[in-house]
């Protein structure tokens, strides 16, 4: 097939003696300015001449001029291409970013996505599940079936912004069985992961400059960014071994964000009395609660406590879930179970944000849940993660007397508080030199760190890697403490 070539070129009138010069000048400018990038194939002279209404001899002459100047190259039997040698010559002069540019929204002037750094060989990374054991063959089969089914459906315009009915039905049954969350498919809105869920909730609840949002401290950063970007006033609230300290909540808080099943990042589980206290506060102050049921699938030991949404009697709770940890992060599917009074607004916000979520992954996930594959995978991985967690705890207790793990009965990571006299930042830097990656608890705190700690993710690390990583850290820790 001939390449599509729609470059705007102004051709002088017929019988003009400047046609060749005009074609040559405009093609050269397009190459120099980068509109025709290195490696792009130019159309054959016959096609070029027909497209722009010039003789083929004129087109050939223009190409020959570009060839003699090194702007294009020819390949035997392959055509004419913009020269790769012009990559540096044709690049536009970079413009230095000005973070104070008034054209940018003030909130986003100081934000950037961040450049990925080379990962250490052993990385105790948070929030990453084990991908090698996921049943991709099953997923591939269900995905192909979903695509075949969709190909037979007549085109009917855009889809429901709330998400595919099959997936909402599957999720309503899944959360009812696993978390005792009572909801109907109409209560659910499918999102592009939990982060979009936070953003949509912020959009429909925040009045810029007025709404006060209480966040756990330390806590998960994406909700903070979503609510700050929406113009909310952020108030950090401390957490203890029972979860967020309700007595520290400001009376004017209208939105309270919590991770009660596995507090991020400390790992504490909100106690039953604290849950009751929080719901009573929300009812008394006409506040809403955003419950991020983080890592609730992977609980070890006793039956998990009921979700806040299950206990809610005043329609105060937005329940947020995601499949990034139970399946894989690249799936980018989350969901919100919303109170009835917020359903319409939430669906409208989703429609305004991106229309609706991709259909094929939704149908694939719906079948994956309906056929029991999700439940089987979670049961299998729960045993594996429990073994990894036990290996981590055993060696921390044996080899790191200066670390005190925070009790946690769920999730894919552990937090450990550091004894006085240990330079956490220096320790983490030394760990990096030993090709081991760990994080400090401080980066999740909204204010100056008062309880230094270290975080260990074990979702994507096998037991052998955990043992080797801790052995390397032990050698570092002995040296660090000897200098303290």
Best CA proximity match to 369, nearest among 180, 173, 130: 173
For residues 468 and 240, is the Cβ–Cβ distance under 8 A?
A: no
Q: What is the pLDDT of residues 213-223, one digit of tens each?
A: 999 999 999 99
Q: What is the pLDDT of residues 67-124, one digit of tens each?
A: 999 999 998 778 999 998 765 554 455 555 566 778 888 888 888 887 677 889 999 9
E strands, 311-354, in order: 317-322, 334-337
Residue intervals of the chain classified under CATH 1.10.10.10 are: 19-90
Average pLDDT in the 123-135 region? 94
Average pLDDT in the 126-152 region? 93
CA–CA distances in Å: residue 307 to residues 246, 313, 323: 17, 12, 17
* CATH fold for the domain made of 19-90: Arc Repressor Mutant, subunit A (1.10.10)
Q: What is the pLDDT of residue 157?
A: 67
CA–CA distances in Å: residue 152 to residues 139, 145, 155, 360: 20, 11, 9, 13
Average pLDDT in the 300-318 region? 88
Q: Is residue 314 over pLDDT 80? A: yes
Query: pTM of the prediction?
Result: 0.81
Please give the mean pLDDT across all residues of the chain.
Answer: 90
The pLDDT-based confidence of 317 (bands split at 50, 70, 90) is very high
Q: What is the pLDDT of residue 112?
A: 83
Q: Is 404 helix (H, G, I), strand (E, B) or coil?
A: strand
* CATH fold for the domain made of 136-371: 3.40.640
Q: What is the pLDDT of residue 483?
A: 45
Half-sphere exposure of 41 (CA within 13 A, CB side): 11
**Range of 67-76, 128-137, 292-301 with top mean pLDDT:** 128-137
Structure tokens belonging to residue 357: 């979520």
Best CA proximity match to 320, nearest among 226, 424, 412, 452: 226
DSSP secondary structure, 10-50, as one string: --PPTT-TTHHHHHHHHHHHHHHTTSS-TTPEEPPHHHHHH
Q: What is the pLDDT of residues 434-453, one digit of tens each?
A: 999 999 999 999 876 567 99
Rounded distance between C-alpha atoms, residue 46 and residue 60, angstroms: 9
The pLDDT-based confidence of 16 (bands split at 50, 70, 90) is confident
Structure tokens belonging to residue 262: 């596995």
Strands 317-322 and 288-292: parallel
414: β partners? 456
Helix axes 221-229, 193-205, angle to 10 degrees: 40
Best CA proximity match to 438, nearest among 112, 116, 119, 115: 119
Q: What is the pLDDT of residues 211-267, one digit of tens each?
A: 999 999 999 999 999 999 999 999 999 999 999 999 999 999 999 999 999 899 999
Within 8 A by CB and 6+ apart from 249, the residues are: 214, 237, 256, 281
Q: What is the pLDDT of residue 410?
A: 83
* CATH fold for the domain made of 122-127+376-483: 3.90.1150
Q: What is the pLDDT of residue 211?
A: 97
The pLDDT-based confidence of 20 (bands split at 50, 70, 90) is very high
Lowest mean pLDDT among 268-277, 342-351, 387-396, 469-478: 469-478
Q: Is residue 53 over pLDDT 50? A: yes
292: β partners? 320
Average pLDDT in the 325-351 region? 95
Rounded distance between C-alpha atoms, residue 43 and residue 72, angstroms: 12
Rounded distance between C-alpha atoms, residue 462 and residue 121, angstroms: 13
Structure tokens belonging to residue 378: 């979670």
The pLDDT-based confidence of 484 (bands split at 50, 70, 90) is very low
Q: Is 231 helix (H, G, I), strand (E, B) or coil?
A: coil
Which is more confidently placed, 100 or 25? 25
Rounded distance between C-alpha atoms, residue 280 and residue 285, angstroms: 9
Average pLDDT in the 285-291 region? 97
Q: How far is CA 6 from the centre of its chain?
A: 37
The pLDDT-based confidence of 15 (bands split at 50, 70, 90) is confident
Rounded distance between C-alpha atoms, residue 30 and residue 23, angstroms: 11
Average pLDDT in the 262-286 region? 95
Q: What is the pLDDT of residues 147-156, one digit of tens each?
A: 998 888 766 6
Residue intervals of the chain classified under CATH 3.90.1150.10 are: 122-127+376-483
Q: What is the pLDDT of residue 274?
A: 97
Structure tokens belonging to residue 452: 């230094």
Rounded distance between C-alpha atoms, residue 399 and residue 198, angstroms: 40
Strands 413-418 and 212-217: unpaired
Residue intervals of the chain classified under CATH 3.40.640.10 are: 136-371
């Amino acid at each position: 097939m001939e390449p599509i070539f729609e470059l705007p070129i102004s051709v002088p009138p017929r019988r003009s003696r400047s046609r060749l010069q005009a074609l040559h000048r405009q093609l050269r400018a397009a190459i120099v300015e980068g509109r025709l990038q290195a490696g792009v194939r130019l159309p054959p002279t016959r096609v070029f001449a027909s497209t722009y209404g010039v003789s083929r001899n004129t087109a050939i002459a223009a190409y020959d001029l570009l060839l003699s100047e090194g702007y294009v190259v020819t390949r035997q039997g392959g055509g004419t291409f913009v020269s790769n040698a012009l990559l540096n010559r044709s690049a536009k002069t970079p413009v230095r970013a000005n973070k104070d540019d008034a054209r940018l929204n003030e909130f986003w002037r100081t934000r950037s996505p961040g450049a990925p750094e080379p990962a250490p060989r052993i990385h105790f990374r948070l929030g990453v599940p084990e991908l090698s054991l996921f049943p991709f063959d099953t997923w591939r089969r269900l995905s192909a079936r979903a695509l075949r089914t969709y190909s037979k459906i007549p085109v009917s315009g855009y889809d429901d912004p709330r998400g595919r009915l099959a997936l909402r039905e599957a999720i309503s049954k899944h959360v009812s069985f696993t978390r005792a969350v009572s909801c109907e498919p109409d209560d659910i809105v499918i999102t592009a992961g939990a982060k979009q869920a936070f953003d949509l909730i912020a959009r429909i609840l925040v009045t810029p400059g007025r709404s006060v949002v209480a966040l756990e401290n330390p806590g998960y950063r994406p909700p903070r960014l979503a609510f700050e970007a929406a113009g909310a006033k952020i108030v950090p609230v401390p957490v203890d071994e029972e979860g967020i300290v309700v007595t520290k909540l400001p009376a004017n808080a209208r939105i309270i964000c919590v991770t009660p099943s596995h507090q991020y990042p400390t790992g504490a589980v909100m106690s039953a009395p604290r849950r009751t206290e929080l719901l009573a506060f929300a009812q008394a102050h006409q506040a809403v609660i955003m419950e991020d049921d983080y890592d609730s699938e992977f609980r070890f030991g006793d039956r998990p406590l009921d979700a806040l949404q299950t206990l809610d009697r005043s329609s105060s709770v937005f329940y947020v879930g995601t499949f990034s940890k139970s399946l894989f992060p690249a799936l980018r599917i989350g969901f919100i179970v919303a109170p009835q009074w917020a359903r319409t607004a939430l669906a409208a916000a989703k429609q305004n944000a991106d229309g609706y979520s991709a259909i094929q992954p939704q149908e694939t996930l719906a079948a994956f849940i309906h056929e029991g594959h999700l439940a089987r995978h979670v049961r299998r991985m729960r045993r594996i993660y429990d073994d990894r967690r036990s290996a981590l705890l055993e060696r921390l207790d044996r080899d790191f007397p200066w670390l005190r793990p925070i009790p946690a009965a769920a999730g894919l990571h552990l937090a450990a508080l550091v004894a006085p006299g240990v330079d956490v930042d220096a320790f983490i830097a030394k760990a990096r030199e030993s090709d081991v990656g760990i994080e400090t608890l401080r980066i999740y705190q909204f204010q100056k760190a008062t309880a230094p700690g270290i975080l260990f993710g074990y979702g994507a690390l096998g037991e052998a890697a955990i043992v080797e990583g801790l052995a390397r850290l032990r050698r570092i820790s002995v040296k660090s403490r000897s200098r303290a």
